Chains A and B, each alone.
Chain A
């Protein structure tokens, strides 16, 4: 039976291999095999998050940007610059989502970190403050 490893250790291994070697397909097959054998397939989503986190630590960031209106080129570039400046990342890719429910402003979600300046969140925080 496979030894039980923490998700953090698995994620660190995967991130290291992904950045150092070329053969991602083989690596993912190994990890999938391990998850099946150790009956931990239910942890796939969490493991992916951990891998994203570890990759971010190594300078590879996938950021999810949510806005009420589509991003223009200038704003997209300044968002990438901001992320690079705040995280010292070398490679940044953006997943853009338009969601009217945020009302205005922008939410940048990085692995393990977030910058939420949406109007909706500000209003929620105000609601909490005044409930207390």
Chain B
């Protein structure tokens, strides 16, 4: 053991002893009456507050819990550790604090649990600050309207459903439709485009193998340095799953409050609601619709309300949220999906049918919406994506009609032809987010009709060739376009001319 670690150990020991010595005088104590399923019922502690931390003595050290049910004769507390060592008759003490977690830049690149304990086998987390887990959302005067873009790098989203910094945009869809993939691509794009946005990914009851794969991928992409991963697995107590998004938001808020920008990804809030339902039922709270407790709306509204764009007086930082909700058989009218849809500022709906048709990301143009992101869309993308959503929605409707017959008028036919190419263009492989100029050039190529002669099956090849040509021959103009400003006529003409020239090489179907 090195000298340094011995010194540290000595200091830690002294600090711990000092902390113990400060416990003088009488402390309020209670006693565990019943315990089971991660919930302890405690007699005494009449002065305990809601959500106050409690310490339960056990033969192998103490177990933390927090008080959630304050009844006249007893307290229902949810354990933060295993209930294996907690026995009836054990002494319970109040800690006099609410739950806090470490916050700060020291957490970047780490995989931790909701209490800030490392899960990546690295050094213990030592931060200069801690933050309260259940913090209130910022008030009206501390906010500013969403106006800066948060580029996801996914053309379909940035063009049709733009997301602004401080916005809450829901990603919703059935299992295996690419919800997490969208979120990961957005995280990768922040690193590729060097936006400086800090990613906080919260895995709520996710398989640890999935989290491990994600971490590995983020490391490969060079994203981990600006990412914090808060992970909980299905084997963790429900209390940890319940706390995970709140604790992670506290960590994200540190960056928001220090004039930086952070992106929260809650994967997923369906499992969060299920964990809360489990806790509530064990605490004997009355069940409501789908057995969820009455305050399940508040559970998510108070969480997502913490995402905000701060006013200039408060530093102008932002916290953007991408909550994920899993639906069953595409039913977005279920309890939790409708709740979160109404809380958020829009949703990106992923359809299973589109996914299996090979249209990936499988974004439904009709059911997706971004309520506040329009004001935050980059001018460059806005200039070319005006009628994209309408055109795509009309195409998908007409395409289903067109299956019944072939007698179509010219305008309908051209709408369908353009729609087919647009659909092909909006297909995007995973881990390949596009920069602003790449998005503008791609959309322009289809919307100006330059790719009208290219068979739909070769649109992606033509797009790749166009982007390659523009990179090699017009790097300066494209760099200028990447700043996000509206392209001037010269640049627009240049893109169209290059697109038409490129299209000539792809006229024949393979």
Residues of A in contact with B (beta carbons under 8 Å apart)? 6-8, 46, 49-50, 53, 86-87, 108-110, 112-116, 121-122, 124-132
Interface pick from B23-31, B166-174, B450-458: B23-31
With contact pairs A6-B73, A8-B72, A132-B117 given, residues A113 and B61 touching in the complex (Cβ less than 8 Å): no
Closest to A121 in B: B57
Contact indicator A126/B62 (Cβ below 8 Å): no
Contact indicator A114/B27 (Cβ below 8 Å): yes
**CA distance in complex: A116, B20 (Å):** 11
Contact indicator A113/B28 (Cβ below 8 Å): yes
B13, B30, B43: most-surrounded residue (chain A CB, <10 A)? B43
Closest to A9 in B: B72
Contact indicator B20/A122 (Cβ below 8 Å): yes
**CA distance in complex: A130, B62 (Å):** 11
Contact count A vs B, C-beta below 8 Å: 65
Closest to A126 in B: B16
B60 at the interface (CB under 8 A from A): yes
Min C-beta distance of B64 to chain A, whole Å: 9
Q: Which residues of B contact A53 (CB under 8 A)?
A: 44, 46
Closest to B46 in A: A112
Nearest 8 A-B pairs (CB), nearest first?
Answer: A128-B61, A114-B29, A113-B26, A6-B72, A129-B16, A7-B73, A127-B61, A128-B62
B55-97 CB mask vs A (1 if < 8 Å, else 0) is 0010011100000000011000000000000000001010000
B26, B30, B93, B117: most-surrounded residue (chain A CB, <10 A)? B26
Min C-beta distance of A53 to chain B, whole Å: 7
Q: Which residues of A contact B19 (CB under 8 A)?
A: 129
With contact pairs A7-B73, A49-B43, A125-B62 given, residues A87 and B26 touching in the complex (Cβ less than 8 Å): yes
Ordered by A's residue number, 28 sampled pairs between the chains whose C-beta atoms are within 8 Å are A8-B72, A8-B73, A46-B33, A46-B43, A50-B73, A53-B44, A110-B26, A112-B28, A112-B29, A112-B30, A113-B27, A114-B29, A115-B25, A115-B26, A115-B27, A116-B27, A116-B91, A122-B20, A124-B57, A124-B62, A125-B16, A125-B20, A125-B61, A126-B13, A126-B16, A126-B17, A127-B60, A129-B16
With contact pairs A6-B73, A46-B73, A125-B62 given, residues A112 and B44 touching in the complex (Cβ less than 8 Å): yes
Closest to A115 in B: B26
Q: Which residues of B contact A128 (CB under 8 A)?
A: 61-62
**CA distance in complex: A127, B43 (Å):** 26
B221-244 CB mask vs A (1 if < 8 Å, else 0) is 000000000000000000000000
B1-45 CB mask vs A (1 if < 8 Å, else 0) is 000000000001100110110001111111101000000000111
Q: Which residues of B contact A114 (CB under 8 A)?
A: 26-27, 29, 91, 93
A87, A110, A126: most-surrounded residue (chain B CB, <10 A)? A126
Q: Which residues of A contact B43 (CB under 8 A)?
A: 46, 49
Closest to B15 in A: A129
Min C-beta distance of B61 to chain A, whole Å: 4
Q: Which residues of A contact B45 (CB under 8 A)?
A: 112
Closest to B16 in A: A129
Closest to B60 in A: A127
Min C-beta distance of A88 to chain B, whole Å: 12
Q: Which residues of A contact B91 (CB under 8 A)?
A: 114, 116
With contact pairs A49-B43, A112-B44 given, residues A124 and B29 touching in the complex (Cβ less than 8 Å): no
- How many residues of B are in contact with the other chain, CB < 8 A? 28
Min C-beta distance of B88 to chain A, whole Å: 11
Q: Which residues of B contact A86 (CB under 8 A)?
A: 25-26
**CA distance in complex: A83, B23 (Å):** 16
**CA distance in complex: A110, B60 (Å):** 24
Min C-beta distance of A120 to chain B, whole Å: 11
Q: Which residues of A contact B24 (CB under 8 A)?
A: 115
Contact indicator B26/A124 (Cβ below 8 Å): no
Q: Which residues of B contact A50 (CB under 8 A)?
A: 73
Min C-beta distance of A105 to chain B, whole Å: 12
Closest to A124 in B: B61
Min C-beta distance of A12 to chain B, whole Å: 11
Q: Which residues of B contact A116 (CB under 8 A)?
A: 27, 91
Contact indicator A113/B29 (Cβ below 8 Å): yes
**CA distance in complex: A61, B13 (Å):** 37
**CA distance in complex: A116, B117 (Å):** 29
Closest to A107 in B: B91
Closest to A125 in B: B20
Contact indicator B26/A131 (Cβ below 8 Å): no
**CA distance in complex: A129, B73 (Å):** 31
**CA distance in complex: A17, B73 (Å):** 20
Q: Which residues of B contact A132 (CB under 8 A)?
A: 117
Known: A49-B44, A112-B46, A113-B29. 14 other contacts (CB 8 A): A6-B72, A7-B72, A8-B73, A46-B33, A46-B73, A49-B31, A50-B73, A86-B25, A114-B29, A124-B61, A126-B16, A126-B17, A127-B61, A132-B117
Closest to B62 in A: A128
Q: Which residues of B contact A8 (CB under 8 A)?
A: 72-73
B133-173 CB mask vs A (1 if < 8 Å, else 0) is 00000000000000000000000000000000000000000
Closest to A11 in B: B73
With contact pairs A112-B29, A124-B62 given, residues A130 and B16 touching in the complex (Cβ less than 8 Å): yes
Q: Which residues of A contact B28 (CB under 8 A)?
A: 112-113
Q: Which residues of B contact A109 (CB under 8 A)?
A: 29
**CA distance in complex: A122, B18 (Å):** 11
Q: Which residues of B contact A113 (CB under 8 A)?
A: 26-29
Query: Which B residues between 91 and 116 are near A, CB-CB below 8 angstroms?
Result: 91, 93
Q: Which residues of A contact B27 (CB under 8 A)?
A: 113-116
Closest to A110 in B: B26
**CA distance in complex: A61, B44 (Å):** 16
A7, A53, A125: most-surrounded residue (chain B CB, <10 A)? A125
**CA distance in complex: A131, B24 (Å):** 23
Q: Which residues of A contact B73 (CB under 8 A)?
A: 6-8, 46, 50
Min C-beta distance of A61 to chain B, whole Å: 11
